[in-house]
Amino acid sequence: MYGLTKNTTGSKTSGLMWIIVTLSLLLSTNLSAQLTPERLDSSNRANNDAQTQREPVQIANNIWWVGHSEVGSYLITTSDGLILMDTTSTEHAPWVMESIKKAGFKLEDIKYIINSHPHEEHIGGLAQFKKAAPNAKVITTAGTAAIIASGGKSDFRNMLEGDAGADYFEAVKVDGTIGNLEELKLGDVTMVAHITSGHTPGATTWTMKVMDGGKEYNAVFMGGLSASGVERGPLLKNELYPEISDDFEASFAHLKTLQCDFYLYARASSIELDKKIELKKQGSAINPFIDPEGCKHYIDFYESRYRKQLEEEKAAQK
Ligand SMILES: [Zn+2]
């Protein structure tokens, strides 16, 4: 299991040691220790197809999950309107709209739409939101803007897959671009864009400060970090994205420097949303979404997966 260290004391382990080891295992069986590689590996498209609607979830004072059983969408509330992160797919964007209303907010109050990365399941509903939320400006990195403007057709993964029509979406021209470490301010909220390319060129990790229980925390919305395998995303000799490997390296290095308390991503399974909702219901003293270990495991998991793919590609070239 991820996050648990192996007991290497072997046969010499005394009864007392066993008790200590067992106790420490029990104590470490917290949320993040239960993150497993299988749960994080949510590239499985079946997850997307089998989705159901979900009630809106208040993660923190000014952060809501308005996504579905699996794919996420976040609403950030400010003193001057709303920021929406990710619309989810063409098929499911209407659910996000319903969820925003159920949470007590109006689509007209959305001032900005930002995103994690422009794959269809996260951004396919953008054109619908442009119509339904007329006051919203779409702000993305330049890399993301180019993919969105092509409706996904210029995405290297779609180009490599050939018959990728299912992953296309209605093209949208963004209203503005944001650079690495630049700020997006709305009312009392400042969000910082960290370009963490590799999964897509221009994938964006967003950070913001969050007040919870009278204390200030750092929230990190991860941008998508998986290496997509040699077929869909080669790391060496990728003519469509030659700097892919350098970008992944830079992203892992940068993400490790971030202060992360609230660990958020656009996948319920990745952040163990169900478990955290249950803990919150049970009246957990600490907000269960404060999960720095989850952040660390997320980065470590995808880095090790990336390194494995890189080694396999290098071996195949010999
Ligand atoms: Zn993706």
The pTM assigned to this predicted structure is: 0.87
> 220 CA distance to ligand 1 centroid (A)?
17
> 157 CA distance to ligand 1 centroid (A)?
10
Is 51-317 CATH 3.60.15.10?
A: yes
Q: pLDDT per residue over 99-151, tens digit each?
A: 999 999 999 999 999 999 999 999 999 999 999 999 999 999 999 999 999 99
Tokens of 185: 């301010």
234-270 in b/e burial notation, b at 16+ Cβ within 10 A? bbeebeebeebbebbbbbbebbeebebbbbbbbbbbb
> 230 CA distance to ligand 1 centroid (A)?
15
pLDDT of residue 284: 87
> 225 CA distance to ligand 1 centroid (A)?
8
pLDDT of residue 118: 97
Domain assignments of the chain as residue spans, ordered by start: 51-317
> 264 CA distance to ligand 1 centroid (A)?
15
Report the distance separating Cα 145 and Cα 173, nearest Å. 7
Strand pairing category for 189-195 and 137-140:
unpaired
Whether residue 151 contacts residue 232, with contact meaning beta carbons closer than 8 Å, is answered with no
Tokens of 317: 């070239």
pLDDT of residue 50: 82
Residues of the chain short of pLDDT 50, as ranges, are 1-34, 37-38, 42
> 244 CA distance to ligand 1 centroid (A)?
14
pLDDT of residue 64: 98
Q: At 131, which amino acid appears?
A: K
Measured CA to CA in angstroms, residue 81 lies from 57, 122, 137, 185, 194 at distances of 19, 22, 12, 11, 23
pLDDT of residue 161: 82
pLDDT of residue 164: 61
> 231 CA distance to ligand 1 centroid (A)?
15
pLDDT of residue 47: 63
pLDDT of residue 8: 33
> 199 CA distance to ligand 1 centroid (A)?
7
pLDDT of residue 127: 98
Report the distance separating Cα 309 and Cα 303, nearest Å. 10
Residues whose Cβ atom is located within 5 A of ion ligand 1: 119, 224
Q: At 201, which amino acid appears?
A: P
- Taking alpha carbons only, the member of 263, 248, 257, 259 closest to residue 297 is 263
